[in-house]
Homo-oligomer: A and B are copies of this chain.
Amino acid sequence: MRVTALAGGTGAAKLLRGLAAVLDPSALSIVVNTGDDAEVWGLHVSPDLDSVMYALAGVLDSGRGWGRADETFRCLSAMATYGAPTWFGLGDRDLATHLVRTRGLRDGHSLSTITAGLCRALGVTPRVLPMSDDAVRTTIRTPDGRLGFQEYFVRDKCQVEVIGVDYDGAERARPAPGVLDAIRGADRVVVCPSNPVTSVGPILAVSGIAEALRSTRARVIGVSPIVAGAAVSGPAGALMRARRLPVSPVGVAHAYAPWLSTLLVAREDAGCAAELAALGVTTVPTDVMMPDAAREIALARAVLELA
């Protein structure tokens, strides 16, 4: 079974680790959000690509949910001495990834080529595809102006009012090589439990990707990142409210309705089934929390074994 997943960072990384353990990993393709890429200390950082890659390589820091395990921050301390911003905490080992990526981009290589090289070096077998090799920047509109996603999320810790969210550059961005084929040629498409507004939203905004999801013959199955009225992690709640989406599986289904077949939701959210049905989405209550590897694998099986 060929599976293609749409992925953001933390939550996606867990489910993908489960899928890679259950599937033939070479049958797994992952289309990853790059809307929250940022420049830090002159380096091109792709937080979601890295979380996915590190998770699949077994080197993701599971406590933080991002960056590398067994990490140190000695360069960061030295950067602080130089007065550089330190709110985006790049670790010493993690830096290598950004150095290789930044140099590769400067030398004219595409983000997808560079990502493939990093994955090869880390022994990651699934195909990790940036949604686009072109720059898309998720921007948060606030009463005081526009913020880059990482400024909003990491620097300001989401403590600002959100008026709206833009995906700058998405209209002109082309899907990275392999993205549309991975969606069209899949037997199953999985929408990971990622933020629908700032993780999956940017992917859908890239020209041609929503259309590929509409036209694929694969069954498209999502996992709700919202449980009992709140995001499992991250700012999905506030961002969904800003988009006037209910902070519930119903809001998630609204975001994906034109092409979503099935949404796995927490058992306590089973009551939303009628509203989802009205959107043409089948509700499957299950254990969507993934506190450990066993539950990651269990959820991956649940996604793959749906009739």
Contacts and interface: CB of A to CB of B under 8 A. Distances in A.
Given A75-B92, A77-B93, A99-B75, A82 B118 contact: yes
Contact of A78 (B81, B95, B117): B95
Contact of A42 (B72, B75, B84, B99): B99
Nearest to A107: B42
A290 to B, nearest CB: 27
A83 B121 contact: yes
Contact-residue size bin, chain A (C-beta under 8 Å from the other chain): 20 to 34
Contact of A84 (B83, B93, B94, B100): B100
Contact of A121 (B74, B81, B99, B100): B81
Contacts of A42: 99, 102-103, 106
25 contacts: A41-B99, A41-B103, A42-B99, A42-B102, A42-B106, A68-B78, A72-B72, A72-B92, A74-B93, A75-B75, A75-B96, A75-B99, A78-B92, A78-B95, A79-B99, A79-B100, A81-B122, A82-B96, A82-B97, A82-B117, A82-B118, A83-B121, A84-B96, A92-B95, A95-B95
